[in-house]
Amino acid sequence: MREVLKNLMKRGRAVVFGTGRGAKRVINFLPFKVCFFVDNNEDKWGSKFQGAPVKSPRALQKKKSNDQIIVVASQFYGEISRQLNEMGLQEGVDFFDGLDFIENYLFGPISNIIENDFSISNIKGNKKYLPEKMADELNFNFIVSTGRTGTKFLANFFNSFKNIFSAHQPIPNFGELRVKFPIGMVNRKDAKKVIIEKRITTLKQLSSSNSYYLESNSSLFSLIPLFEEVFPNCRIFHIVRDGRDFVRSGMSREYGAFFTDNDPRLQGEIKTRITAKMFPNDFWHNKWENFTTFEKICWYWQKKDRIIYESVNQLDNGFTIRYEDLFVDPENSKSREIEKIAETIGLPVQQVQDKFSTWFSKKINESQSYNLPHWSDWNEEKKVKFKKIAGKHMELYYPYYASDW
């Protein structure tokens, strides 16, 4: 593969397939000019991305050239690869996986310098893998949740501080690992190796002025014990949201599609979302196939958050914060919760509080409309289903939630 990439890199021009975070990351490492981008989203055709035009994939057939290489910069590489094959284009000849190139070939495997103990402590000072002036005392912080909990807002907020490097679900992420590890398909050592290899590309972006690293990422839900080992003394913040609001948001974002055999995130035999079928000892294991989409999302919330809850409760540096206390009730609780985060990380509390107030009106990654009414208006059938599947877990954080109905 390395020889194939070497030959491909002799091409003089590139076309990048994708216009998301992966594309932004990939173009920083390409040794040649990007002529244009292509994307399957027709709403983007005719626009510009990173200064270059965005076109339909059909443009690849019209522009096919021996001095042009297609770089796929998307987590859906398998799907895009099949699409390009159907257009008569060949992997390794006409296109390659740009994210895989960065992760496995640009910097080389981390196992070259670490044989057994996959910890960030063992690669500090190695200029090939980390910034030369990265402080030994770099403060690592991770925000984890089920998703739909304002973590993108928090990542953007903390990134506004000069001495903090903050990112929301940086690429490459842990789509497969977050499923394979909890169901025993990847052992602990190999999982830690994957984590450190994937995060090296993110850490390469740090500068000597960064004293803090903060990452908000729902994909870490099943990997928390590993992150504590890979990043010793890191802090883990668990943001939990009322499961009923999560289900409502999930229904509005068509989460149900990700639990079917037509799951667009299907990678080989592994889906990147957990299901009850993956856990033989789960109470709902044999009932999953007959679940409605509503029931599946109820299960997904309680299972994913329970995994987080059980991991965080074992940590000395693990903290749980309710979404509602941080965002919904600014007069009474918001300042105390953001103060708790600031104090724990080691940031100036008053500065964080003041800035948070000015940012609070921003709405990032928020659903604009809902396909399901507010839970206070759910019919009796939905209330019963939610209580049956997720009620016990809800009581851990919201002991009197049933009285709201």
Pick the more confident residue, 64 or 38.
38
- The β-bridge partners of 72 are 17, 97
Pick the more confident residue, 330 or 301.
301
- Planar angle of CA 19, 21, 24, nearest 5 degrees: 75
Domains and CATH numbers, the chain: 2-106 (3.40.50.720), 120-404 (3.40.50.300)
H or E element in which residue 342 lies = helix 335-345
User: Measuring CA to CA, which residue among 50, 46, 56, 45 is closest to residue 30?
Assistant: 50
| 267, pLDDT greater than 50 | no
Stretch among 123-132, 187-196, 213-222, 380-389 having the lowest mean pLDDT: 123-132
Percent of the chain with pLDDT over 90: 52
104 band by pLDDT with thresholds 50, 70 and 90: low
Q: How far apart are CA 246 and CA 359, in angstroms?
A: 23
367 band by pLDDT with thresholds 50, 70 and 90: very low
pLDDT tens for each residue of 58-93:
998 765 666 688 999 988 888 999 999 999 998 888
Q: What is the mean pLDDT of the chain?
A: 83
In this predicted structure, what is the pLDDT of residue 8?
A: 57
pLDDT tens for each residue of 134-177:
545 689 999 999 998 999 999 999 999 999 999 999 988 898 89
| Category of 138 on φ-ψ map: left (φ > 0), alpha (ψ -120 to 50) or beta | beta
Three-class DSSP category at 68: strand
The secondary structure of the chain in percent helix, strand, coil, rounded to multiples of 5, reads: 45, 15, 40
DSSP annotation of 269 reads T
pLDDT tens for each residue of 226-257:
999 888 889 999 999 999 999 999 898 766 55
In this predicted structure, what is the pLDDT of residue 314?
A: 95
Sign of the alpha-carbon torsion through 149, 289, 279, 223? negative
260 band by pLDDT with thresholds 50, 70 and 90: low
Strands 13-17 and 33-38: parallel
Which CB contacts under 8 angstroms, 24+ apart, belong to 160-163? Answer: 160/355, 160/359, 161/212, 161/347, 161/355, 162/209, 163/209, 163/210, 163/211, 163/212
Three-class DSSP category at 219: helix
Q: How far apart are CA 298 and CA 125, in angstroms?
A: 46
109 band by pLDDT with thresholds 50, 70 and 90: very low
Residue with tokens 């708790």: 340
12 band by pLDDT with thresholds 50, 70 and 90: low
- Phi first, then psi, for residue 107 (nearest 5°) are -100, -15
In this predicted structure, what is the pLDDT of residue 11?
A: 64
List all residues 6 or more positions away from 197 whose beta carbon is below 8 Å from its beta carbon.
103, 104, 109, 110
Pick the more confident residue, 32 or 175.
175
| 30, pLDDT greater than 80 | no
333 band by pLDDT with thresholds 50, 70 and 90: very low
- Phi first, then psi, for residue 97 (nearest 5°) are -85, 105
Count of C-beta atoms within a 10 Å radius of residue 189: 11
Most confident of 117-131, 327-341, 377-391: 377-391
User: Measuring CA to CA, which residue among 35, 34, 21 is closest to residue 75?
Assistant: 21
Q: What is the mean pLDDT of residues 295-312?
A: 97
> What are the Cα distances from residue 310, in Å, to 26, 160, 276, 305, 307?
36, 32, 18, 9, 5
H or E element in which residue 392 lies = helix 380-397
In this predicted structure, what is the pLDDT of residue 404?
A: 84
Q: How far apart are CA 68 and CA 381, in angstroms?
A: 57
Tokens read off for 68: 């042009």
Q: Is there a contact between 4 and 96 (Cβ–Cβ < 8 Å)?
A: yes
pLDDT tens for each residue of 203-228:
878 877 888 999 999 999 999 999 99
